[in-house]
Amino acid sequence: MSGDAVGITGIGVTAPGGIGAKAFWELLMAGRSATRTITLFNPEGFRSRIAAECDFDPVAAGLTPREIRRMDRAAQFAVVSAREALADSGIEAGWPPPERRAVSLGSAVGCTMRLEQEYVVLSDGGRHWLVDHGYAVPRLYDYMAPSTLAAEVAWASAAEGPVALVSTGCTSGLDAVGRGVRLLQEGTADIVLAGATEAPISPITVACFDAIRATSPNNLEPGRASRPFDRDRDGFVLGEGAAVLVLERVASAVERGAHLYAEIAGFASRSNAFHMTGLRPDGREMAEAIRASLAEARKRPEEIDYINAHGSGTRQNDRHETAAFKRSFGARAYQVPVSSIKSMVGHSLGAIGSIEVAACALAIEHDMVPPTANLHTPDPECDLDYVPLTARRQPTRSVLSVGSGFGGFQSAMVLKAPAGA
Amino acid sequence: MTVRAMVTGLGVVAPAGVGAEAFWAAARAGHCALGPITRFDAAAYPVRLAGEVATFDAAAFVPGPVIPQTDRFTHLGLAAAAMALADARANPADLPEYGSAVVTGASSGGTEFGQHEIERLWREGPGSVGAYQSIAWFYAATTGQVSIRHKLRGPCGVLATEQAAGLDALGEARRMLRSGVRLVLAGGTDASLCPYGLVAQLSTGLLSAASDPSAAYLPFSPAAGGYVPGEGGAMMVIERADDAAARGIAPYGEIAGYAATFDPPPGSGRGPGLVRAAMLALRDADVPPSEIDVVFADAMGAPAWDSAEAAAISAVFGPHGVPVTAPKAGSGRSYAGGASLDVACALLSIRAGLIPPTPGGGRPDPRYAIDLVSRQPRKQRIRAALVLARGYGGFNAAVVVRAPSRPE
């Protein structure tokens, strides 16, 4: 990117299938799908009754009873992941000072879960439009204002520089990390806790995707429901989780002898200005975001070793995206491995972009490409190498990750192995 | 490369008026647009006043099919965006395909729409939720709709830092210009005046329970008893100085400085981060405090918050060191929309050479040692203005807007 090189020195992940970055990576390498029948509420009567849930125990994750009472599940994920990332980075209290620490956190739907739970109490199960304020919890406003999520991460990481929640729907996670890189390049901060969190597995969110038939109704085979690029795919599977990264300038990481997972070399986003949920089949704007991120990273398509796809598993997304890869990569699109980890951890809306950046950094770290689980019968219109079923060992030095979301937003990020690694 | 970010168009949807000129006529006169809540029956709630955009007619601004697909905060945002583009005489189609963008601040999303849908879900069951909940409720709804309506295909954004987001969006717009975007629609509109929205706001304990609209929201007054919630906001067209000059459009002013900070955690014993945000924004603008001719205060209207803000202003400018005003006392606090509206108001002040008064007409608490402009507008040249915003939970932001006359 223009200006100083920025890298990742700490990774924290809370994902379905296991808590912590290590468990997350093991799940991806095993090609195991963590989707299942919803347990967080009784999904009877809903069209899609499956999700990728985190087996998250806030006490075991180190949260105090007070924190657990105060925080929405999305905040709990974010704080636990931020603490893991900070510990991983080796950053302690001395450096940098609080005013040089920033937070750029993404989330698409904020504290929906608590907001809905409290609504049910105040409205007596939807009976009263004029909800009863006498039953309101003291922190109700914290659940209405999604900025709370960023504030919690700021407190957990002693950040007093710029702190913000980025909320561009399903590209929030990529956009929040991209924005974190900019803060470092412009000199506003010395480290940025950048990432995203989401805990959307609640009745209202499940119902709103039911209403537009965006999620998979494959309730009888939960483990096989998320199948991006497969001929028989029938929608995405809702997920939850968080990833928080410690970003810093490569120069400071080298100076303090920190481990660098990867550099973030390019980022761009574009909007299709077309439709809130519809995608033009030609993938034009996503291709443009990809081109711009490659240009900033000074990488040619031939140099990209792996593409982490948005790969949500909806009919239209996977074709749109395949078209975008062909448009931006030309003949190289047919050679570069492409995979979707949503086949294993589901689609956690705003969080997934950051979880995927974490996966890309770990792919570079381990020279391994995660597979697309459940891809048994490729869609003839999706004719690229989607790394079906099994993880692949290969030199992985430069990686592209993309995201696409409601509102027409398309984002792309290029990561590369640290110089000298 | 230094890119100067000029504001060339304003779109305002405020309780005091729809349209920048209507708003300004009310603001300069110190008109109070607060009144009883009419959007629902608030009789049972301890807060019954608000600043509603009573004269707003969505059908005049929003395409028919889009109205039932979107929440009021998006209606207001679409209206403000269209007015801002028209005011700037800007047509995104004249720019490179990916050269225009939109970034909004959002505090609470499509609250009223969301309450209707969640009520249906719990009253009637899972199949009853409508197809538009997924695109109307979320915080990015307005940015997405504005992008589609005006074909803005650049890097669109949404920031949520409660009230501070109205300034953070402008800071983000300036970043976008520096990265090569040619035109950004930036600002915010909020609307949470539905029962669940109001009840959530009540939980902060910062709302005014007064029943007389003219005495309900009195920032910096010894009688301050909280703020009155409002709705609305402003969007503005921000473009590079050379682009504005080439189009022959006279800017309102420049987004010359911006900074954001976060407060120390509760119980740390250290002071809030507002002073640091103000100082960093001044430094960013390369404007000394002596050249700031007015401060548009965050003006919470609650004693502890007013005291902290007055201390911050005094720390930067000295006691009684700069005129301070809070036109939002006539419109209510409209969160991300409110901070954008303050910037629009500061730009209109620069144009008019006049500081609008703080409605309510009272004298400030003498302990605060601030020069609060109240009762009458104050006629004076404004070279630059500082706008402050605090987002609930610890967020601070500051923007310096500068008069356009400064030579290249």
CA distance A388 to chain B (A): 31
List domains and CATH numbers for chain B. Answer: 5-247 (3.40.47.10), 257-402 (3.40.47.10)
pLDDT of residue B1: 52
- Tell whether A210 is within 8 A of chain B (Cβ): yes
pLDDT digits (tens, 9 = 90+) for B43-52: 999 999 999 9
Helices (H) and strands (E) in chain B, counts: 11, 16
Report the first-to-last Cα separation within chain A, whole angstroms: 19
pLDDT of residue A2: 42
pLDDT digits (tens, 9 = 90+) for A38-74: 999 999 999 999 999 999 999 999 999 999 999 999 9
Nearest to A163 among B44, B202, B395 (CB): B395
Tell which of A104, A144, A284, A312 to mutate to test the B interface (max B CBs under 10 Å): A144
pLDDT digits (tens, 9 = 90+) for B15-70: 999 999 999 999 999 999 999 999 999 999 999 999 999 999 999 999 999 999 99
pLDDT of residue A1: 40
Nearest to A145 among B125, B148, B392 (CB): B392
Q: Which chain A residues are within 8 Å of B199, Cβ to Cβ?
A: 122, 131, 133, 136, 140
Which helix (H) or strand (E) segment is B5 a member of?
Answer: strand B5-14
CB-based contact A285:A272 (threshold 8 Å):
yes
Measured in whole angstroms, the distance separating CA B128 from the mean position of its chain's CA atoms is 35
Q: Which chain B residues are within 8 Å of A145, Cβ to Cβ?
A: 107-108, 160, 162, 391-393
Nearest to B148 among A203, A214, A275 (CB): A275
Cα angle: B44, vertex B46, B47; to 5 degrees: 105
Contact assignment for B158 to A168 by CB distance below 8 Å: yes
Q: Which chain A residues are within 8 Å of B120, Cβ to Cβ?
A: 126
Per-residue exposure over A312-338, b if at least 16 CB sit within 10 Å of its own CB, e if not? bbbeebbbbbbbbbbbbbeeebeebbb
Q: Mean of the pLDDT values across residues B84-106?
A: 97
Q: Count CB neighbours of A138 within 10 A.
A: 10
Nearest to B40 among A110, A130, A207 (CB): A130
Q: Is the ipTM of this complex over 0.90?
A: yes
DSSP B206-252: -B---S-GGGS--TTSTT---B-BB-EEEEEEEEEHHHHHHHT---S
CA distance B163 to B334: 8
Fold matches, A6-255 and A263-416: yes
CA distance B284 to chain A (A): 11
pLDDT of residue B407: 44
Q: How many CB pairs under 8 A join A and B?
A: 251
Question: pLDDT tier at B9 (50, 70, 90 boundaries)?
Answer: very high
A382: annotated active-site residue = no
Contact assignment for A133 to B199 by CB distance below 8 Å: yes
pLDDT of residue A113: 97
Q: Which chain A residues are within 8 Å of B127, Cβ to Cβ?
A: 45, 47, 210
Cα angle: B392, vertex B396, B397; to 5 degrees: 130
**DSSP SS3 for A308:** strand
Please state, for a pLDDT cut of 90, what percent of chain B lies above it. 96
Please state, for a pLDDT cut of 70, what percent of chain B lies above it. 99
DSSP A34-68: -EEE--SS--TT-S--EEE-----TTTTT--HHHH
Q: Which chain A residues are within 8 Å of B137, Cβ to Cβ?
A: 109, 208
Please write down the HEC assignment for all residues of A236-268.
ECEECEEEEEEEEEHHHHHHCCCCCCEEEEEEE
- Tell whether A125 is within 8 A of chain B (Cβ): yes
DSSP B29-67: TT----EE--SS--TTSS--EEB--TT--GGGTS-GGGG
pLDDT digits (tens, 9 = 90+) for B165-213: 999 999 999 999 999 999 999 999 999 999 999 999 999 999 999 999 9
pLDDT of residue B362: 80
Domain boundaries, chain A: 6-255, 263-416
Q: Assign domain A263-416 to its CATH architecture.
A: 3-Layer(aba) Sandwich (3.40)
Question: pLDDT tier at B364 (50, 70, 90 boundaries)?
Answer: very high
Contact assignment for B392 to A141 by CB distance below 8 Å: yes
**DSSP SS3 for B298:** coil
Q: Which chain B residues are within 8 Å of A46, Cβ to Cβ?
A: 126
CA distance A237 to A214: 9
Fold of A6-255: Peroxisomal Thiolase; Chain A, domain 1 (3.40.47)
Nearest to A160 among B109, B202, B261 (CB): B261
- Tell whether A277 is within 8 A of chain B (Cβ): yes
Residue segments in chain A with a per-residue pLDDT below the cut of 50: 1-2
CB-based contact A194:A245 (threshold 8 Å):
yes
Q: Mean of the pLDDT values across residues B348-362?
A: 94
What is the pLDDT of chain B when averaged over all its residues? 96
